[in-house]
Amino acid sequence: MATRIACTFAALASLAAVAAAGPALAADKIAYPVTTGTMIMQSSPGSGGDLFLRAVADAANRQIGANFAVENVTGGSGAKAMALLGKSPGDGSMLMGVSPTYVNTSLLSKPPVSYTDLQPIVRLFLDSVIVVVREDSPYKTLKDVIEAAKKAPHSVKVAVGEPGGLETQTMIELMQKTGTQLTVISHDGGGDALLSVLNGTGDMAIGEAAELKSQLDAKQIRPIAAYTEARIATFPDLPTAREQGIDMVVQKFRGIIGPKNVSPEVIKAWEAAVPKMLNDPAFKKWYEEGALIPAFQPHDQFEAFIDNFGAKQKQFFLDNNMIKG
C-alpha cells in the first residue's frame, strides 16, 4: 500500500513538473497578438517564393508564440494576394511573403491595392539569381544563348514567373544590353516556369537555387550563369554573367509585409524573431544550401528600402515605355 501511495505521489509530482515546464517553454517564445496566423504567397506551390515562405513559417513557429501556416493566393501577378492582405486586420493574423514582384505589379498594372497601401515589416534575404537550361540543352553558357538569339531573333524561349516579376525585368535588361530579341513566356510562378523548361516549351529559365535544388541535384537541369557580384559558394564552378561579358547583377529581396494598419506589437515581434531565426541551425542550413544571403532589415529600414526600390523601378518602367508618367 505504501509503495502504491509513493508511486501515486511520484506520478503526480511528474505531472506537476510537466505542467510547470509548459508555461516556461511558452514564455521563451516571443509574444504575439494572436495564436494562429496565415502567411500568403502570391506565387504557385514549388516556386522560390513559396519555398521561402514555408521555411520562414516553420522557423517562426519555433520563435514566436503563434502558429503560422502558408496559403497560396495566385492571380494577377500578386494583385489578388495584395487585395486580400489589404482587407485583413492589423493583428498579425494575415501577413504576406514578398519579393520585387509585388512592387512591379503595383506599378505595371495599378491594382486596387498597391504596394504603397501595405506595410513593410522586415526584410530577411537577398536572393542569388541563376540561369538554367535543361540538361540536354545545346547551350553551355549564357554567351551561347546570346549568340543563338543574334542569329535568329525570338528563337530562344525564356520561361519566367509572373509577368510583373523581376525575372521579366531581367530579360528586358538582358535584351537591351546585348541587342537581342528573346521570346519571354510568363507563368504563375517559378515552379511553373521550371516545368516549362523540363517539358521543352522553354529553352531556359531564371530562378533561385532553393527552388531549383532538387532538379539540379537530379541533373535534370544545368546552370549556365549567375547574376551575382561574385561566384556563389555552393556553385563555385558557375561563372557570373559579368565573367561572360554581360554586365548584369540581379538581387531579389525576400521579406514580410502586412496591411497598412499592422500593429506595433506585430512589427516588434518579427523584428525580435528574425535575428534568432537566422541563427536557427535548421533554417540556416536551408538558406545556405539555397544560396540565400542573410540581409535582415527591421521595419524602418525595410520601409525606406521599399520606397527607394519602388522609385527606381518606376523610373525603369518609364524609361522603357512600360508605363506612362
**In this structure, which CATH number among 1.10.760.10, 3.40.190.10, 3.40.50.1970, 3.30.420.40 belongs to the domain 128-244?**
3.40.190.10
Intrachain domains 36-126+251-319 and 128-244 with the same fold: yes
Residue 320 has pLDDT above 80, yes or no: yes
**249 pLDDT more than 70:** yes
Give the CATH fold of the 36-126+251-319 domain: D-Maltodextrin-Binding Protein; domain 2 (3.40.190)
- Say which residue the cell 502558408 belongs to: 70
pLDDT surpasses 60 at 26: no
Neighbours of 23 (CB within 10 A): 9
Reading the block at residue 112, the C-alpha cell is 486596387
Mean pLDDT, range 183-189, rounded to an integer? 88
pLDDT(166) > 60: yes
pLDDT for 202 = 97
Q: Is residue 177 pLDDT above 90, yes or no?
A: yes
Q: With the C-alpha atoms ordered 130, 136, 140, 143, is the resulting torsion angle positive or negative?
A: negative
Overall average pLDDT of the 130-149 stretch: 97
pLDDT over 70 at 254, yes or no: yes
Question: Over the stretch 194-216, which tens digit does the pLDDT of each residue have?
Answer: 999 999 999 999 988 777 888 99
Q: Once rounded to an integer, what is the mean pLDDT over residues 212-231?
A: 93
Compute the radius of gyration of the chain from its Cα atoms.
23
Q: How far apart are CA 65 and CA 22, in angstroms?
A: 13
pLDDT confidence bin for 6, thresholds 50/70/90: very low
Domain ranges for the chain: 36-126+251-319, 128-244
Angstrom CA distances, 274 to 64, 96, 122, 260, stand at 10, 15, 8, 21
* Stretch 179-188: mean pLDDT: 93
**One-letter identity of residue 256:** I
- In DSSP notation, 107-137 reads HHH--SS-GGGEEEEEEEEEEEEEEEEETT-
Mean pLDDT of 256-280: 98
Angle at 286 between CA 29 and CA 139, to 5 degrees: 155
pLDDT value at residue 242: 97
